[in-house]
């Protein structure tokens, strides 16, 4: 299948001097080209080994029993019937000595138990079983009898601080444990966080127009197609875990700490992961539970959660309520921004407002800013980072506000954003960015979209009308950084093994890294074998999150390739009896640059033949001092609104992204399409619905009711416009993060387009026909 896919580069970058700093790349040959994924074969043939595909001899199936109530205390658990059912090998509860383990949610602040007697959200783990088949495991779960005392709950974060609201932390976990929340039984989670610069009052006085609005976003849930889970196998006191994760090393660390094992006794492997989006950065209780079940049963255990469990228990993007007030001069200068927001990370995770205010602080030039973030506990599953935590929510508010300001001063929304452009990070003490392509994202994106023409279209009286909208963004992270170690094995025939700890979560990490090796060494991409994401055999890497994998790993891979190249040239220099600086690696031949007749094929280099394999090592160097590195973007869209039904169809999208150098064109574009798709879900269909009034339980526990975008919900007309910024400072490949900014401005752009179409501003996600129809009717009444 690889025939015609890959080719050798016609020329190669120069070999650097020994000990010389790596020069930034100029034009690249392989890097940036549209090569298909190096692991496409595995992914389309069905041969890719995802952790959920693991099938070990004698393997059992684990399942977890979960509290069906939003808040309850367990009076009694009876597992006697379950234990006797056919095929059942282990049943564990809080009464099982081996399972009496403390559990930390965020940091080490909140201490809970692996199996809690006090259940603080629907889906809290209360027991688990291992059986010969998953069906027998679920039979056993149904046979466990639990006597719950159901307690009053609070699931609405907006009501969490109201007088008389039940307290999430009123009941205590473990006798004798210190009570961390003794004084905080009013559901407040920590002090409110305040950020302030300049003088807000002065800023508002200077403004010609002040706009104030309250926005809200609903909770979005990751729901990757491969559910969370793992297979665990013991060999004596050594544990091997195949876990569907974004970071094998973070799982290893957590498991070793929880089970009190040395790191060397815990091996975590994940060659493929079926979607993650931030929800698989950390070990869940299920990983520990599978390990305990396997230990007690003396057999390997595979434990994967159900869709219902993945909607309830393994994280979400918190819902947020945001009040935003901004002042603008008639010339478009923003004079002041005030932002106050509320959120909840659930019953355990401390924060529901993580990174929520970053774009308020840093996207637009503004001397006078104040943000206030409040956090509360509710009886609901804990949050986990989800694709650009905090940013799409903030964008929903800020980018609609920008359009409101533009309208107030009768300015093109793109012009207003350009007017308030800044190339320094104000929230980091006004340090400059290594690069910022936001201006180009805005101006070139507008041209590619046909913004001016679309904006000047005459309004129509038709029942079905079109509108256009846009929004821009930055992502707080995306610089990457140390540590990372990469090892390249250069075989005697010139083929290469690349060894790195990083995951490829579908973003194309392996493909990008193979292209970096090909760029430096001239080896064809299909002659590179990649060994990755295995704590037993690959080098340390941080988890793939924060859009940092490519900017973190690609410089380390490049350094390892250059190390290989230097060693090769040194060995060839001995054979040719020439100084190193006269030699250059070209494909599989080392050539004298002064006399091209003098050369030696790589496979003929005596030193390499003797040692058979040459090992190159690369490290990720530090980021530049005193500078910030962030990706930027602007997205433009056109929608069609049916005024009679309130239905909105997204017709087309243009995503103009500055993520530094484009490393792999196909996977780059695919990230842009995918981010926009997820943003369409966030803006238009996705919301966790909790029964606030009565039970606190989630009422839309399925993909029919928790709707993620289908093939019918996305426009086929999507354009990815890379703003290929040359950033020679951020790192040695010039790449910045991409996976998260792609989903930040999407929902706000749609809301702005809906406003442009029908003159109705939807301030609460998701934009849906019922809500919109009512708003259109209301607007008609007011104007008519």
Partner 1 sequence: MGTNKENGSRSKRRGVSRRDFLSTTGLGIAGLATRGPAQQETDPDEAVVGAGQRIPVTLHINGRKYRLLAESRWSLGYVLREELGLTGTKLSCERGECGSCTVLIDGVPRYACMVLVPEAVGVEITTIEGLLNGENLGDVQRAFAENDALQCGYCTPGQIMSVEGLLRTNPEPDLDQIRKGVSGNLCRCGAYVNIFKAAQKVSEERLRSGGSA
Write each residue from 23 to 52 as x if it is in contact with partner 1 (CB under 8 A), else as -, in one continuous string.
-------------xx--xxxxxxxxxxx-x
Compute the C-alpha angle 61/63/69, nearest 5°.
175
Q: Which of 139, 338, 340, 638 binds partner 1 (CB under 8 A)?
A: 139
Write each residue from 346 to 385 as x if it is in contact with partner 1 (CB under 8 A), else as -, in one continuous string.
----------------------------------------
Q: Which of 13, 224, 345, 413 binds partner 1 (CB under 8 A)?
A: 224
CA distance 210 to 102: 51
Q: Which of 93, 287, 306, 752 binds partner 1 (CB under 8 A)?
A: 306
Q: Does 644 bind partner 1 (CB under 8 A)?
A: no
Closest distance between partner 1 and the C-beta of residue 50, in Å?
A: 7
Structure tokens at 302: 């595979």
Closest distance between partner 1 and the C-beta of residue 49, in Å?
A: 8
Applying CB under 8 A, which part among 12-20, 423-431, 483-491, 709-717 lies near partner 1? 709-717
Closest distance between partner 1 and the C-beta of residue 698, in Å?
A: 15
Closest distance between partner 1 and the C-beta of residue 140, in Å?
A: 9
CB atoms under 10 Å from CB of 492, counted, come to 16
Range 442-461, binding partner 1 (CB under 8 A): none
Q: Does 505 bind partner 1 (CB under 8 A)?
A: yes
Helix/strand/coil percentages in the chain, nearest 5: 30, 25, 45
- Total number of residues that touch partner 1 (CB under 8 A): 68
Closest to partner 1 by CB, 94 or 671: 671
Q: How far is CA 742 from the centre of its chain?
A: 11
Strands (E), 28-140: 60-66, 72-78, 88-93, 102-104, 111-113, 118-119, 125-131
CA distance 506 to 712: 22
Report yes or no: 492 and 609 within 8 Å, Cβ to Cβ.
yes
Closest distance between partner 1 and the C-beta of residue 750, in Å?
A: 15
Q: Which of 127, 678, 749, 758 binds partner 1 (CB under 8 A)?
A: 678
Q: Does 257 bind partner 1 (CB under 8 A)?
A: no
Closest to partner 1 by CB, 46 or 626: 46
**Buried-exposed string 562-597: b where 16+ CB fall within 10 A, e elsewhere:** bbbbbbbbebbbeebebeeeebbbbbbbbbbeeeee
Name 479's Cβ contacts closer than 8 Å, sequence gap at least 6.
Answer: 548, 551, 623, 628, 629, 630, 730, 731, 736, 737
Which residues face 149 on adjacent strands? 73
Closest distance between partner 1 and the C-beta of residue 515, in Å?
A: 14
Q: Which of 667, 725, 731, 765 binds partner 1 (CB under 8 A)?
A: 667
CA distance 223 to 486: 31
CA distance 762 to 658: 28
Q: Which of 142, 145, 452, 609 binds partner 1 (CB under 8 A)?
A: 142
Closest distance between partner 1 and the C-beta of residue 338, in Å?
A: 35
Q: How far is CA 778 from the centre of its chain?
A: 38
Q: Which of 76, 461, 711, 781 binds partner 1 (CB under 8 A)?
A: 711
Closest to partner 1 by CB, 67 or 137: 137
Q: Does 694 bind partner 1 (CB under 8 A)?
A: no
Applying CB under 8 A, which part among 288-296, 360-368, 501-509, 520-528 lies near partner 1? 501-509
Range 60-89, binding partner 1 (CB under 8 A): 85-87
Closest to partner 1 by CB, 617 or 714: 714
Which residues face 341 on adjacent strands? 322, 373
Name 245's Cβ contacts closer than 8 Å, sequence gap at least 6.
Answer: 51, 251, 268, 270, 273, 276, 280, 281, 283, 503, 543
CA distance 413 to 205: 23
Strands (E), 236-355: 238-243, 266-269, 301-304, 320-328, 334-344
Q: Does 669 bind partner 1 (CB under 8 A)?
A: yes
Closest to partner 1 by CB, 414 or 650: 650
Q: Does 123 bind partner 1 (CB under 8 A)?
A: no
Q: Does 58 bind partner 1 (CB under 8 A)?
A: no
Q: Which of 194, 205, 225, 263 binds partner 1 (CB under 8 A)?
A: 225
CA distance 494 to 529: 12
Applying CB under 8 A, which part among 122-130, 491-499, 569-577, 704-712 lies near partner 1? 704-712
Closest to partner 1 by CB, 256 or 708: 708
Closest to partner 1 by CB, 239 or 708: 708
Q: Does 299 bind partner 1 (CB under 8 A)?
A: no
- Going by the DSSP 8-state scheme, the letter that residue 534 receives in this structure is B
Q: Does 651 bind partner 1 (CB under 8 A)?
A: no
Q: Does 277 bind partner 1 (CB under 8 A)?
A: yes
Q: Does 619 bind partner 1 (CB under 8 A)?
A: no
Q: Is 301 helix (H, G, I), strand (E, B) or coil?
A: strand
Structure tokens at 623: 């980021």
Tokens 């690069």 found at: 435
Range 85-114, binding partner 1 (CB under 8 A): 85-87
Closest distance between partner 1 and the C-beta of residue 290, in Å?
A: 16
Report yes or no: 239 and 232 within 8 Å, Cβ to Cβ.
yes
Q: Which of 203, 274, 327, 478 binds partner 1 (CB under 8 A)?
A: 274
Q: How many CA atoms lie within 13 A of 580 on its CB side?
A: 12
Structure tokens at 246: 């974004």
Which residues face 230 on adjacent strands? 243, 303
Closest to partner 1 by CB, 702 or 778: 702
Structure tokens at 435: 């690069």
Closest distance between partner 1 and the C-beta of residue 6, in Å?
A: 12
Q: Which of 97, 163, 694, 716 binds partner 1 (CB under 8 A)?
A: 716
Closest distance between partner 1 and the C-beta of residue 410, in Å?
A: 36
Q: Is 156 helix (H, G, I), strand (E, B) or coil?
A: coil
Report yes or no: 217 and 390 within 8 Å, Cβ to Cβ.
no
Applying CB under 8 A, which part among 220-228, 364-372, 441-449, 654-662 lies near partner 1? 220-228
CA distance 39 to 42: 6
Closest to partner 1 by CB, 309 or 519: 309
Closest distance between partner 1 and the C-beta of residue 41, in Å?
A: 7
Angle between helices 549-576 and 509-521 in degrees, nearest 10: 30
Q: Does 490 bind partner 1 (CB under 8 A)?
A: no
Q: Does 53 bind partner 1 (CB under 8 A)?
A: yes
Q: Is the peptide bond before 766 cis (omega within 30 degrees of 0)?
A: yes
Contact positions vs partner 1 (CB under 8 A) = 1, 5, 36-37, 40-50, 52-53, 55, 85-87, 133-136, 139, 142-143, 222-227, 272-277, 306-307, 505-508, 666-667, 669-671, 673-678, 702-704, 708-712, 714, 716, 718
């Amino acid at each position: 299948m690889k025939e015609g896919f890959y080719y050798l580069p016609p020329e190669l970058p120069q070999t650097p001097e020994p000990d010389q700093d790596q020069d930034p790349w100029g034009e690249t040959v392989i890097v940036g080209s549209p090569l298909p994924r190096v692991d496409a074969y595995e992914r389309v043939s069905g041969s890719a080994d995802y952790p959920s595909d693991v099938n070990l001899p004698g393997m059992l199936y684990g399942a977890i029993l979960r509290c069906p109530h939003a808040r309850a205390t367990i009076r009694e658990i009876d597992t006697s019937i379950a234990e006797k059912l056919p095929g059942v090998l282990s049943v564990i509860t809080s009464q099982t000595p081996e399972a009496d383990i403390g559990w930390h949610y965020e940091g080490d602040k909140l201490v809970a138990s692996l199996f809690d007697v006090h259940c603080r959200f629907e889906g809290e783990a209360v027991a688990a079983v291992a059986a010969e088949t998953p069906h027998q495991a679920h039979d056993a779960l149904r046979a466990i009898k639990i006597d719950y005392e159901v307690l009053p709950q609070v699931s609405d974060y907006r009501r969490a601080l109201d007088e008389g609201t039940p307290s999430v932390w009123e009941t205590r976990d473990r006798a004798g444990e210190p009570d961390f929340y003794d004084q905080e039984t009013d559901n407040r989670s920590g002090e409110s966080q305040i950020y302030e610069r300049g003088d807000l009052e002065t800023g508002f006085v200077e403004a010609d127009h002040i706009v104030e609005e309250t926005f809200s976003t609903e909770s979005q849930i990751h729901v990757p197609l491969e559910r969370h889970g793992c297979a665990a196998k013991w060999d004596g006191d050594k544990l091997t875990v195949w876990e569907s994760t974004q970071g094998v090393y973070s799982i290893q660390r957590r498991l070793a700490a929880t089970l009190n094992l040395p790191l060397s006794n815990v091996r975590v492997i994940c060659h493929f992961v079926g979607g993650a989006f931030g929800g698989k950065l950390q070990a869940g209780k299920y990983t520990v539970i599978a390990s305990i079940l396997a230990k007690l049963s003396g057999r390997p255990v595979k434990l994967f959660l159900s869709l219902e469990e993945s909607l309830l228990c393994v994280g979400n993007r918190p819902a947020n309520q945001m009040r935003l007030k901004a002042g603008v001069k008639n010339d478009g200068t923003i004079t002041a921004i005030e932002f106050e927001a509320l959120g909840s990370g659930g019953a355990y995770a401390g924060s529901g407002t993580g990174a929520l205010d970053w774009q308020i602080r840093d996207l637009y030039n503004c001397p006078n800013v104040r943000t206030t973030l409040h956090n509360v506990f509710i009886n609901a599953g804990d949050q986990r980072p989800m694709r650009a935590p905090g940013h799409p929510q903030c964008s929903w508010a800020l980018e609609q506000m920008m359009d409101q300001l533009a309208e107030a001063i009768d300015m093109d929304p793109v012009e207003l954003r350009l007017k308030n452009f800044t190339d320094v990070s104000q929230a980091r003490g006004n340090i400059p960015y290594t690069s910022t392509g936001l201006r180009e994202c805005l101006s070139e994106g507008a041209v590619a979209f046909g913004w001016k023409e679309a904006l000047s279209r005459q309004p129509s009286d038709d029942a079905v009308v079109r509108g256009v909208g846009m929004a821009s963004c930055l992502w707080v992270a995306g610089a990457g950084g140390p540590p990372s170690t990469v090892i390249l094995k250069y075989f005697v025939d010139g083929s290469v093994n690349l060894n790195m700890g990083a995951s490829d979560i579908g973003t194309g990490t392996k493909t990008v890294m193979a292209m970096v090796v090909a760029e430096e060494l001239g080896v064809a991409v299909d002659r590179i074998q990649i060994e990755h994401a295995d704590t037993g055999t690959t080098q340390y890497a941080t988890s793939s999150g924060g859009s940092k994998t490519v900017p973190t790993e690609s410089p380390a891979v490049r350094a390892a390739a250059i190390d290989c190249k230097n060693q090769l040239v040194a060995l060839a220099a001995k054979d040719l009896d020439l100084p190193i600086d006269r030699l250059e690696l070209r494909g599989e031949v080392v050539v004298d640059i002064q006399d091209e007749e003098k050369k030696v094929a790589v496979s003929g280099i005596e030193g390499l033949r003797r040692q058979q394999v040459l090992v190159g090592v690369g490290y990720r160097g530090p980021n530049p001092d005193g500078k910030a590195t962030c990706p930027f973007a602007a997205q433009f869209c056109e929608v069609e609104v049916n005024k009679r039904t309130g239905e909105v169809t997204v017709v087309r999208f243009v995503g103009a992204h500055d993520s530094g150098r484009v490393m792999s064109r196909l996977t780059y574009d695919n990230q842009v399409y995918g981010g926009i798709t997820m943003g369409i879900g966030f803006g238009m269909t996705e919301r966790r619905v909790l029964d606030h009034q009565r039970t606190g339980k989630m009422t839309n526990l399925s993909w029919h009711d928790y709707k993620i975008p289908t093939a019918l919900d996305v426009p086929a007309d999507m354009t990815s416009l890379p703003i290929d910024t040359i950033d020679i400072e951020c790192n040695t490949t010039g790449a910045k993060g991409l996976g998260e900014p792609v989903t930040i401005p999407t929902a706000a752009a749609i809301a702005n387009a809906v406003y442009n179409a029908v003159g109705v501003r939807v301030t609460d996600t998701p934009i849906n026909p019922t809500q919109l129809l009512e708003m259109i009717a209301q607007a008609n009444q007011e104007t008519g």
